[in-house]
Structure 1
Amino acid sequence: MTSSLSISEAVAFAHGQSGPESSIAAAAQDIDMDAILRRRAAATPDAVALRFLKNGEDDIAELTYRQLDLRAARLARQLKQQLAPGARVLLVLEPGLNYVTALFAIFKAGATAVPSFPPVGSRAVARFASICNDCNAQLVIAEGSLHAAVDRLNASLSAEGNFPEWLFAGSDFFEAQDTQPIAADATDDVGTSEPFPALLQYTSGSTGNPKGVVLSAANLISNSRVLDIRLGSAEKHIGFTWLPPYHDMGLMGALLLSVYSGFTLVVMTPAHFVQRPLRWLKGLSTHRVTTSVAPNFALDLCVDTITDEEIAELDLSRLKMLFCGAEPVRQATLDRFSEKFKAAGFSSAAFVPCYGLAEATLFISGKANRDAIPKTLLLDHEALACGQAKPATADAPATAVISCGTVASGHVMAIVDPDTRQQLPAGAVGELWFKGASVAQAYLNQPEASTETFHAFIADDRQDGPYLRTGDLGFMLDDELYITGRIKDVIIFAGRNLYPQDIEAAAQASHPAIRTNGVAAFSVTRDDTEQLVVVAEILRSAKLNGEDLENVEDAIAAAITRSHGVAPHTVHLAPVSTIPLTTSGKVRRSACRDAFNAGSLAYAKARPTPSATATETDSTTLFQQG
């Protein structure tokens, strides 16, 4: 098995060095992301680190490495006067240059960064309060516009009275600091070597309440290194991100990676993308971007909203790496995107299906061959349901599974029976266990969950570990990883494992009135019997009457029965935005199940027909099949 990467080796890689002598020379200084930034500022002070599209299009602001380093250093000096080493700082700024500056200031000050949503809206305030209470934040760095809401936000916290301090960074906060004098070597006296966590990354909560993942400086460097290896150094990269910087994909997979690897990163807010997805692709074209990242829903959104006339104005030929991670990556999504945008020069070889999670900092595996089209296996559906990956035959139902590539350099993946904890052979489906330098330390304030998740050992071999238990299922073939689902989401019928994303894909394809990525499948127990429930969101533009909705329900039931050999007990048709999602667009199936059990899921309403009565017009629709 491959050994984990040491900090000194990771540091050496950051400077293009190799061999033990260069590792030793660099290790004493470059032990964290701040050290990487300071070296960038010294070596290429005038190179553009960040380019922010303030309006999502042509209103541009930039920071060079030197400017980023100096601004962060000035704020860090202020933070060190207020905070003890290791203090938790909740960062709730809007995405942009100020966000990255404040993040590196926290690193420089020797504090622990805690990224979170800006607390605007009831759900975001509730998440903010949960995180603030859990980590006992000493300081909140927020937009100046939130100043008037401090009393209300403090009131949302625990009743113990341990309210954090607040630092408000208005639109000109960092620009005003540029006029303050600072010594030429001031950036060298603000760091710390204390072993405090660098960052607390709160999970998106797809299977439960968010947990604070404790990440060290070495974790951040390791993750950046293995991603940098996948990027390669054959050309100068230009990156683009609109992903939220408080989510692991946006933070570790874009912002920190760009500083580590030394390429310019073009940044746009998530709101600007959602408002008009074309802005992302125009940004890729205008700024000659070579690498970007997006979850499944973003690719589908582009396909559904961008016209052929708009595509004619795009040039995506320079995009060589488009990282795509979801649960799992959908073949239909990649095919739709490739077909739609090939006219703009997009190549399907640019797709980099990948797999990762916050507990591993981010990256676990991804496509290794930059010039290859992602590998897809067509597997026997029944064999896969029984835990074996076998090639499909022409006369049997098949399931397409996309490779998520090879495991991160210097790390180890084991496929393990989650019950016996015995390692499984190639081609057998089991839980993914992962170990190496990128694996996080623990969950904050959750010792039992930390032991169960981060300290797993292969049965009868206490030397083989500790591993991170991912909770995900998959298999390895020819050293490539394939994801099949999550343990908690698997639906078991007659001894067969049915994966919800496969059921959802069958339902999605059954009728054009169903919103893209608008399906959730899960099981409930009624009278000691497990029953399959499918929730499908109906497009607002569909305007279906009662008979039309019945046809949708029939189409969903028929498609699932045909492809999986089981009929859904309940098909619940719902309006758009009914199904709960994580920050990265993943379906929160457990939350959807809870809402279904509580009877709180909304129902799709039938469009009245000319002969409909008032009672028929107001009726809602819930279709069940026994």
Structure 2
Amino acid sequence: MTSSSSISAVASVAAAVHEQDMDAVLRRRAAATPDEVAMRFLRNGEDDVVDLTYRQLDQRAARLARQLRQQLAPGARVLLVLEPGLNYVTALFAIFKSGATAVPSFPPVGSRAVGRFAGICHDCQAQLVIAEGSLRTSVDRLNAALSAAGNAPGWLFIDSDYFEAQDGQPVPEIAYDKARQAGDFPALLQYTSGSTGNPKGVMLSAANLISNSRVLDIRMGTAQKHVGFTWLPPYHDMGLMGALLLSVYSGFMLVMMTPAHFVQRPLRWLKGLSTYQVTSSVGPNFALDLCVDTITEEEIDGLDLSNLKLLFCGAEPVRQGTLDRFAEKFGRAGFSSTAYVPCYGLAEATLFISGKADREALPHRLFLDQQSLANGLIRPARLDAAATAIISCGTVATDHVMAIVDPETLEALPPGVVGEIWFKGASVAQGYLNQVQASDDVFHAFIAGDPTDGPYLRTGDLGFMMDDELYITGRIKDVIIFAGRNLYPQDIEAVAQACHPAIRTNGVAAFAITRDDKEHLVVVAEILRSAKLNAEDLENVEDAIAAAITLSHGVAPHTVHLAPVSTIPLTTSGKVRRSACRDAFEAGALALAKPRPAPAAANDSTILLPQE
């Protein structure tokens, strides 16, 4: 059973961009509105502001593109590891202009990041790395890591004033020859975050980037001139495709700050929304929790969030409790729950697959019978039965098609039945770099019995359709099968998270292990550094987690493992890597939380603590 979006693109026809690649979009913007601010960067996360107009962005990118063209053949892979900011955006568009392939990557700072960087560099056979000038002193160490991985690219170091220093130089003419503009190579390689396995290089064409920007532009609407705000990492799909490229495509100013400035002080994000009268922003679930937990009532008095009309929530499961808490706390600052846009996407679809369609409505949600959901059926919860709240991720992207399919039989399923989410359309990527079999398995699926119904992208995610809207229930690889029931780890993690204040936000992982041919549930929970729990307190936390999960899901955990902060493996975008956590648990490599002296004033095992 397939479903296509009911949203009409008529409202966006007048503003549609017809260029075939993102550089052409930028050139059109630079010609039509040269002095409009394209990007505004908050260098300190607050009041140290620097702007970049469309003309400046186009000209600075052109100068670097000339240099890249002299060094690189069309399609050469250029690893982009600059810190978030205006230089990052400029270098990205320079790569587009040059006809090379951009490969965004996490900056190689720290042993884990260096290992990932070396793996990506080797996998894509990067010919050039564009990096911060501050990494010059680390180049020998990084080259050693790259040599060990079998690759030795060149380096181009970009200092903070690299582009400003060239502003007086002539702007080169660039011949946009067909070989570079529409060659048989990706415009961009987006490496997946690796939440369920090793990262893969998703090959995105210029047409993929345009398609994703178009469907997002339609979803946002063009009735008003938007102002965007992002602190998301630009080397991940949501920050790159859902913020940077979208803003250039749609022609609205994007205010930017670094992820570090947000995490250090979440109030900066909401202050930015208030100061610049932002209409559209992105906030994953954990970010909303962080704002609620750290921003004081007095600080709310200085905020005005009434202009925020679109707050896209994605990248991780969206929880109703989080949305309710955020709206309750910041409602007096003018925030409206109608601004929430729960959405679903993944790198293999460039980004956007579905999202809330009605910009004036509250997100739809269902309260489902937990036992029926465990058996793959969708039934409303009874008053006397355990319920699971699931938020709609809206309707499918315009001109794209979604199907819910039995992952074993490959048969299409009707509305109200849980199956694997399949997706097809112009935003679907070209496949995985260097992985022919995986590409065929994931990107070339057909509905059983109909060889013409495809090819589809197999997302690996589970969900169901109801009234043409998508509801996500989990990932196939993460589902825990217990006594014939499907248990979704994110639901178990949410219960554990809420049962005791000493557990870190986003610091729980649930997974299954096999012992004596039986599946057993393991829950790993990180304890806040500020908790200072003694041995008895830690036992009480274990008991609280076990009791809460048993009560809510009817399954007693085989093991509750309490760990210090930063024990649970995460992707670079902050998602829990359950499979990696399970492997570490099986290997006995997960650290244990150590008892610490309880505060002298604390006589109760339940200690109210601020969340980190």
Gap runs ≥5 in structure 1: 18-25, 612-626
Which position in structure 1 is the counterpart of 2:607? Answer: none
Which position in structure 1 is the counterpart of 2:294? Answer: 305
How has the CA–CA distance of structure 1 residues 104 and 550 changed in structure 2, closer, same or farther, with 3 Å as cutoff? same
Match of 2:98, as an amino acid? A
How has the CA–CA distance of structure 1 residues 151 and 249 changed in structure 2, closer, same or farther, with 3 Å as cutoff? same
Match of 1:43, as an amino acid? A
Contact 1:69 1:187 in 2 (8 A): no
Please list, as runs of the form range in 1=range in 2, the aligned pairs for 1:278-289 lying within 5 A after superposition.
278-289=267-278
1:266 alignment partner, SS class = strand
Which position in structure 2 is the counterpart of 1:349? Answer: 338
Shift in Å at residue 597 of structure 1? 0.8
Shift in Å at residue 206 of structure 1? 0.3
Contact 2:392 2:470 in 1 (8 A): yes
Which position in structure 2 is the counterpart of 1:123? Answer: 112
The answer to whether 1:58 aligns with 2:36 is no
Shift in Å at residue 514 of structure 1? 1.4
Shift in Å at residue 14 of structure 1? 8.0
Which position in structure 1 is the counterpart of 2:154? Answer: 165
Q: TM-score, structure 2 length as denominator?
A: 0.94
Which position in structure 1 is the counterpart of 2:550? Answer: 561
Which position in structure 2 is the counterpart of 1:443? Answer: 432
The answer to whether 1:599 aligns with 2:594 is no
Which position in structure 2 is the counterpart of 1:615? Answer: none
Please list, as runs of the form range in 1=range in 2, the aligned pairs for 1:413-562 lying within 5 A after superposition.
413-562=402-551
Which position in structure 2 is the counterpart of 1:105? Answer: 94
The answer to whether 1:378 aligns with 2:367 is yes
Match of 2:51, as an amino acid? E
Q: Deviations over 1:506-560 (max 9, x none)?
A: 1112112211221111000112111100011112222222221111111111111
Match of 1:566, as an amino acid? V
> Which of 73, 84, 91 is equivalent to 2:73?
84
Q: Give the whole-Å Cα distance in 2 for the aligned partners of 1:396 and 1:350.
A: 32
Q: Give the whole-Å Cα distance in 2 for the aligned partners of 1:182 and 1:370.
A: 42
Which position in structure 2 is the counterpart of 1:227? Answer: 216
2:341 alignment partner, SS class = strand
Shift in Å at residue 290 of structure 1? 0.4
Contact 2:233 2:259 in 1 (8 A): yes
Match of 1:170, as an amino acid? D
2:417 alignment partner, SS class = coil
Q: Give the whole-Å Cα distance in 2 for the aligned partners of 1:281 and 1:99.
A: 23
How has the CA–CA distance of structure 1 residues 2 and 498 changed in structure 2, closer, same or farther, with 3 Å as cutoff? closer
Q: Give the whole-Å Cα distance in 2 for the aligned partners of 1:360 and 1:585.
A: 20
The answer to whether 1:574 aligns with 2:573 is no
Contact 1:330 1:402 in 2 (8 A): yes
Which position in structure 2 is the counterpart of 1:16? Answer: 15
User: Relative CO higher for 1 or 2, CA cutoff 8 Å, sep ≥ 6?
Assistant: 2
Please list, as runs of the form range in 1=range in 2, the aligned pairs for 1:405-416 lying within 5 A after superposition.
405-416=394-405
Contact 2:534 2:595 in 1 (8 A): yes
Q: Deviations over 1:337-356 (max 9, x none)?
A: 11111121111111100000
The answer to whether 1:176 aligns with 2:168 is no
Contact 1:352 1:366 in 2 (8 A): yes
Shift in Å at residue 171 of structure 1? 1.0
The answer to whether 1:337 aligns with 2:331 is no
Please list, as runs of the form range in 1=range in 2, the aligned pairs for 1:252-271 lying within 5 A after superposition.
252-271=241-260
The answer to whether 1:153 aligns with 2:142 is yes
How has the CA–CA distance of structure 1 residues 503 and 530 changed in structure 2, closer, same or farther, with 3 Å as cutoff? same
Contact 1:248 1:358 in 2 (8 A): yes
Q: Give the whole-Å Cα distance in 2 for the aligned partners of 1:545 and 1:420.
A: 52
How has the CA–CA distance of structure 1 residues 14 and 591 changed in structure 2, closer, same or farther, with 3 Å as cutoff? farther
The answer to whether 1:393 aligns with 2:379 is no
Q: Give the whole-Å Cα distance in 2 for the aligned partners of 1:407 and 1:478.
A: 12
Q: Give the whole-Å Cα distance in 2 for the aligned partners of 1:363 and 1:206.
A: 18
Q: Give the whole-Å Cα distance in 1 for the aligned partners of 2:174 and 2:390.
A: 52
Match of 2:119, as an amino acid? S
Q: TM-score, structure 1 length as denominator?
A: 0.92
Which position in structure 1 is the counterpart of 2:196? Answer: 207
1:540 alignment partner, SS class = coil
The answer to whether 1:585 aligns with 2:574 is yes
Shift in Å at residue 374 of structure 1? 1.0
> How many positions carry a matched residue from both structures?
595
Identical positions, percent: 80
Q: Deviations over 1:351-404 (max 9, x none)?
A: 100000000000000000111111110001111000011111111111100000
Match of 2:436, as an amino acid? P
Query: What RMSD in Å do the two structures reach over aligned CA positions?
Result: 2.0
Gap runs ≥5 in structure 2: 601-612
How has the CA–CA distance of structure 1 residues 572 and 68 changed in structure 2, closer, same or farther, with 3 Å as cutoff? same
Q: Give the whole-Å Cα distance in 2 for the aligned partners of 1:425 and 1:158.
A: 52
Which position in structure 2 is the counterpart of 1:244? Answer: 233
Contact 2:280 2:311 in 1 (8 A): yes
Contact 1:14 1:261 in 2 (8 A): no
Shift in Å at residue 13 of structure 1? 6.2
Which position in structure 2 is the counterpart of 1:621? Answer: none
Q: Give the whole-Å Cα distance in 2 for the aligned partners of 1:405 and 1:85.
A: 39
Q: Give the whole-Å Cα distance in 2 for the aligned partners of 1:145 and 1:512.
A: 40
Contact 1:404 1:481 in 2 (8 A): yes
Q: Give the whole-Å Cα distance in 1 for the aligned partners of 2:121 and 2:241.
A: 21
Q: Deviations over 1:200-254 (max 9, x none)?
A: 0000010011000000000000000010011101111000000000000000000
Q: Give the whole-Å Cα distance in 2 for the aligned partners of 1:39 and 1:608.
A: 64
Contact 2:318 2:391 in 1 (8 A): yes
Stretch deviating more after TM superposition (153-162 or 94-103): 153-162
